[in-house]
Amino acid sequence: MDKTSQISVRVIENDPDFRELLSGIFERSEMFDLVGSYESIEAFGAEMLKHKPSDSWFPQLMVVDVMSSTDPRVEGASFMSALRAEGLQFATLLISSMEFGALLRVLRKSQAKGWAALQKTSRLTEQDIIESAKAVCSELVLS
């Protein structure tokens, strides 16, 4: 499939097994193009700053485990929200074991569209992840 028609994705996940799983899913999918995978928000941030100020470095979709920082004071949801508040356009699929209802409501007060969340359970399937990723991307494109 032509890369230009694919949705670019960067993944931040501190659990190596789950990161491998997520990366594999997006690599296998013809719809997505995995352009980066990071073990922490700090690793992502360091790479991001190397490419400043090129907005094109940002993917169309960020898949982020909320608690993927080496520092408990940093978490992925607020970090993504802060980047998007600066005008960067990317959809965000959050993954965590926490309840997401309130978090999504709060995030949507700042940027109304382009947020989705998946709870990490053993029942989470490849299809769930792909469907959520597609849905959140189209929500942002359509808005």
Partner 1 sequence: MNSFLDVPRILRRERNSWVRLVVIAIFITFEMYSIYILHRETNEQARILVYMHIALALMVFSGGTVDAINTAKRLLKIEEADRQITDISSKYVSTRELLFRIDNETREEVGAWMHGTLQPQLVRLAKDIRTNKLNDGELVAQRVDEIAEKYVREYSHSLYPPALAISIEVALETLLEGRAELVLDERLTITADIGYAIWSSESETASIKQVMRLHLAAEISYATYRIIEEAVANAEKKSSTTRIVVDVRVEGEQVRISVRDNGDPISDNAKAGLGLSVINAFMQKFHGTMTMNNVADGVEVLVLLPYEAPTLADMLHKRFQGGGLDE
Residues of this chain that interact with partner 1 (CB under 8 A) are 41-42, 45-46, 48-49, 52-53, 66-67, 72-73, 75, 77-79, 81-83, 85-88, 96-99, 101-103, 105-107, 109-110, 121-123
Q: How far is CA 4 from CA 10, 23, 31, 54, 130, in A?
A: 16, 19, 10, 18, 18
Rg (CA), the chain: 14
Q: What is the dihedral of CA 40, 115, 129, 125, to 10 degrees?
A: 100
User: Which CB sits closer to partner 1, 32 or 63?
Assistant: 63
Residue 33 CB, nearest approach to partner 1 (Å): 22
Residue 30 CB, nearest approach to partner 1 (Å): 30
User: Which CB sits closer to partner 1, 4 or 125?
Assistant: 125
The verdict on whether omega for the bond into residue 53 sits within 30 degrees of 0, i.e. cis, is yes
**Token pair 């359970």 in the structure block, residue:** 121
User: Positive or negative, the Cα torsion across 6, 111, 65, 82?
Assistant: positive
Residue 47 CB, nearest approach to partner 1 (Å): 10
Residue 12 CB, nearest approach to partner 1 (Å): 12
User: Which CB sits closer to partner 1, 16 or 72?
Assistant: 72
User: Which CB sits closer to partner 1, 83 or 130?
Assistant: 83
